[in-house]
Amino acid sequence: MTELLQLVSFGPGGWGFALLIAAFMTVSVAVCGFLIGGVIGAVIAWGKLAGNLPVRFSADAYTTVLRGIPDLLVIYLFYFGGSMAVTGLFNLWGEAGFVGVPPFAAGATAIGVVSGAYQAEVFRGAFRVLAKGEIEAGKAAGMSPVLLFRRIIAPQVLRHALPGIGNIWQMALKESALISVTGLVELLRQSQIAAGSTRKPFEFYLIAGAIFLVITWLSQHVFSWLESRARRSMPGGIV
Amino acid sequence: MDPVFVRDSFLQLLSGVPLTLELTAFAFVIGLVLAVLIALMQVSGLRVLRMPASAYVFVIRGTPLLVQIFLIYYGLGQFRPTLQSLGLWQFFREAYWCGILALSLNSAAYGSEVLRGALLSVSRREIEAAKACGMSGLLLYRRIILPLALRQALPAYGNELILMVKATSLVSIITMMEVTGVAARLISETYRPVEVFIAAGTIYLIINFLLTRAVSMLDWWLTPHLRGLPTTDKTEQAK
């Protein structure tokens, strides 16, 4: 046990500091991906609800395809595909050789694209709960579409979507471990490095798992706090 | 974009399909057995049974699958002498069995949550009626509770099955050549990620489409009481 503590200590020879930075990296790439996913999800949900036939069809195709394909493939697509595109662009400029996209950008985009498909479904489900009369009342009060969205639609949809959004956040967080394949030094990659240099894979993967568990546990609490806050104006426990 | 290359990669990727299906099937069956046990432990009302089951589900669902795979495949390699003396090394040195173990443990945790919800949904009246007929213990579970719960759980469990197919892609990172593994090899050989992605994505979408159809057919077959009059049924669904 003391040996384990020595491995994660912050002093010389300890990996504590490196793991802490890696944990920050995990959280930031997951947050960026999750936010990108929120924007994509909102647009796709809007397309599903309000679009004409081609728009609705494309939105449906997007969610079906992205939810049916492994995340790892999407990460490969964005990392290698992005690098190919950037290299091609640089070669046009006259510079030869391979240019890679930053793993952070590729990873966050990949998480965003996948979680966007899931978020779209959650937003769409939450929008259905919205009473038609409220939107009509907003329009009758002379609100422009933007104001209507900001004041009436967004707050209520977000409130109802919160539990589903919480699940998707947990998914995005765990998905971020896959970005280690692109070489981004997040929690899992850092553990791999540490495991390789100390020849103690079991300890380090256990530690990585424990840190992930702490992060998911904390976010569970944040989301249930947010949910209870969002439900203040809804007496009687109507979800 | 080169359609001929997409077709060629598609044909090459087909060689990974049997392994993907095998991993899914193994993990699904083992996972289902464990999931039933864990779910029963959770609803048993006995603290000694409930606590370890909840802890298990919490830990597995709170950590990324890739970390679990690494922990089992690379981490347990550290205990090679011990495992050899126990005769378990044959098992743990194979990426195949480690992959199946990790996927099964995962599917057990997620599946047990679905089943727990389903077990709780079995109405108290049916259980009371069965008890009044003199059923108790195993007979009650075998004839009344489990069939009702499994039927209730089927649609959600179908979603878990799709997630399982997607999750098998992760064992490609520990050298297994299933569809994603073959795709990664093709990408690194040809530097054409977009075409390979389209081909591999198509394969996953076909697998998932067929599985979804199979689950909904099973669901249809198991719920004759909901079919009733076809005309009213359709209008109900339209709503």
CATH of residue A173's domain is 1.10.3720.10
User: What pLDDT, on the 0 to 100 scale, is given for residue A157?
Assistant: 87
Q: Is B36 left (phi over 0), alpha (psi -120 to 50) or beta?
A: alpha
Name the 3-class secondary structure at A149: helix
pLDDT digit string, tens, across residues B97-106: 999 999 999 9
CB contact under 8 A, B193 and A77: yes
Q: Identify all chain B residues contacting A174, using CB atoms and an 8 Å cutoff.
A: 63-65
Domain boundaries, chain B: 3-224
Gap from B134 CA to chain A (nearest CA, Å)? 39
3-state class of B6 per DSSP?
Answer: helix
Scanning B66-95 for CB atoms below 8 A from A yields 66-68, 70-71, 74-79
Residue-level length of chain A: 239
Residue of A113, A168, A202 to mutate for B, most B C-beta atoms under 10 A: A202
Is residue B37's pLDDT more than 80?
yes
> What average pLDDT does this structure show over B61-80?
94
pLDDT at A177 over 70: yes
Choose among B94, B138, B67: nearest CA to A206: B67
> Tens digits of per-residue pLDDT, A146-158?
999 888 888 888 8
B208 vs A contacts (CB less than 8 Å): 68
Q: Model confidence over B119-177: pLDDT tens digits?
A: 998 888 988 999 999 988 889 988 999 888 888 899 899 999 999 999 999 999 998 99
Does pLDDT of B66 surpass 70? Answer: yes
Report residue A98's pLDDT band, with 50, 70 and 90 as the boundaries.
Answer: confident
| Cα end-to-end distance, chain A, whole Å | 45
DSSP B178: S
pLDDT at position B223 over 50 = yes
CA-CA distance, A141 to A135, in Å (whole number)? 10
Structural domain that includes position A103? 29-185
Angle in degrees, CA B214, B217, B220, rounded to 5: 155
Stretch B12-20: mean pLDDT: 95
Q: How far apart are alpha carbons A38 and A36 in whole angstroms?
A: 5
pLDDT of residue A4: 77
Of A64, A73, A217, the CB nearest to B169: A73
| Range with top average pLDDT, A87-101, B19-33, B69-83 | B19-33
Q: Which two tokens stand for residue B236?
A: 């109900």
Nearest CB neighbour to A72, from listed B67, B74, B180: B180
Alpha-carbon distance B142 to nearest alpha carbon in chain A (angstroms): 33
In this prediction, residue B239 has a pLDDT band, given cuts at 50, 70 and 90, of: very low
**Cα dihedral sign, B192-B194-B198-B200:** positive
Q: Which of B87, B150, B143, B95 is nearest to B121 (CA)?
A: B150
Model confidence band, residue B53 (pLDDT cutoffs 50, 70, 90): very high
Residue A64 lies in a domain: yes
A218 and B CB contact within 8 Å: no
CA distance B143 to B152: 15
**pLDDT higher than threshold 70 for residue B229:** no
User: Cβ neighbours of residue B175 under 8 Å, at least 6 residues apart?
Assistant: B95, B181
Q: Looking at residues A78-96, what average pLDDT do you find?
A: 83
CA distance B116 to B107: 14
Q: What is the pLDDT of residue A239?
A: 43
> What residue of B is the nearest CA neighbor of A200?
B78
Q: What is the CA radius of gyration of chain A?
A: 22
Please give the pLDDT value at position A230: 83
Q: Which of B58, B64, B205 sits opposite A177 (nearest CB)?
A: B64
**Contact check, Cβ <8 Å, B64/A181:** no
Query: Does residue A124 or residue A131 have the better pLDDT?
Result: A124
Q: According to the model, what pLDDT value does residue B171 have? A: 95
pLDDT on residue A233: 73
d(CA A131, CA A28): 36
Q: Which residue of A74, A77, A179 to mutate against B (max B Cβ within 10 Å)?
A: A77
- Taking contacts as CB-CB distances below 8 angstroms, the residues of chain A near B62 are 170, 212-213, 216-217
Per-residue pLDDT at A213 exceeds 90: yes
Position A95 in a domain:
yes
Sign of the Cα torsion A168, A169, A172, A173 reads: negative
**How close B8 comes to chain A (CA, Å)?**
18
- CA-CA-CA-CA dihedral for B31, A71, B168, B14, to nearest 10: 140
Give A219's Cβ-side CA count (13 Å radius).
22
Of B61, B169, B208, which has the smallest distance from its Cβ to A72's Cβ? B169
Q: What is the mean pLDDT of residues A24-35?
A: 97
Q: What is the mean pLDDT of chain A?
A: 89
What whole-number percentage of chain B has pLDDT above 70?
Answer: 95
- Domain count within chain A: 1
Percent of chain B predicted with pLDDT > 90: 67
pLDDT tier for residue B38 given thresholds of 50, 70 and 90: very high
- The answer to whether position A39 is within a domain reads yes
Q: How far apart are CA B174 and CA B220, in angstroms?
A: 39
**Cβ neighbours of B113 in A, within 8 Å:** none
Residue A236 has pLDDT above 60, yes or no: no
pLDDT, position A238: 46
Q: A79-93, A132-146, B156-170: which has the minimum mean pLDDT?
A: A79-93
Of these ranges, A93-97, A142-146, B24-28, the one predicted with the greatest mean pLDDT is B24-28
Q: Please give the single-letter amino acid code of residue B135.
A: M
On average, the pLDDT of chain B sits at 90
| CB pair distance less than 8 Å for B67 and A205 | yes
Say if the Cβ atoms of B201 and A65 lie within 8 Å: yes
Within a domain: A63: yes
The answer to whether the CB atoms of B208 and A68 lie below 8 A apart is yes
Band of residue A235 on the pLDDT scale cut at 50, 70, 90: low
CATH of B3-224, one of 1.10.2020.10, 3.50.50.60, 1.20.1250.20, 1.10.3720.10: 1.10.3720.10
Rounded to two decimals, the ipTM of the complex is 0.89
Average pLDDT over residues A138-145: 91
Task: Determine the residue among B20, B60, B67, B76 to mutate to test chain A binding: the one whose Cβ has the most chain A Cβ atoms within 10 Å.
Answer: B67
CB-based contact A209 B184, cutoff 8 Å = no
Mutate to test the interface with B, among A4, A26, A27, A69 (most CBs of B within 10 A): A69
CB contacts < 8 Å between A and B, how many?
Answer: 118
Helix/strand/coil (H/E/C) assignment for every residue in chain B: CCHHHHHHHHHHHHHHHHHHHHHHHHHHHHHHHHHHHHHHHHHCCCHHHHHHHHHHHHHHHHCCHHHHHHHHHHHHHHHHHHHHHHCCHHHHCCHHHHHHHHHHHHHHHHHHHHHHHHHHHCCHHHHHHHHHCCCCHHHHHHHHHHHHHHHHHHHHHHHHHHHHHHHHHHHHHHCCCCHHHHHHHHHHHHCCHHHHHHHHHHHHHHHHHHHHHHHHHHHHHHCHHHHCCHHHHHHHHHC
Residue corresponding to tokens 């994505």: B201
Of B58, B78, B197, the CB nearest to A76: B197
CA distance A71 to chain B (A): 8
Task: Give which of B61, B73, B162, B172 is closest to B106, Cα–Cα.
Answer: B61
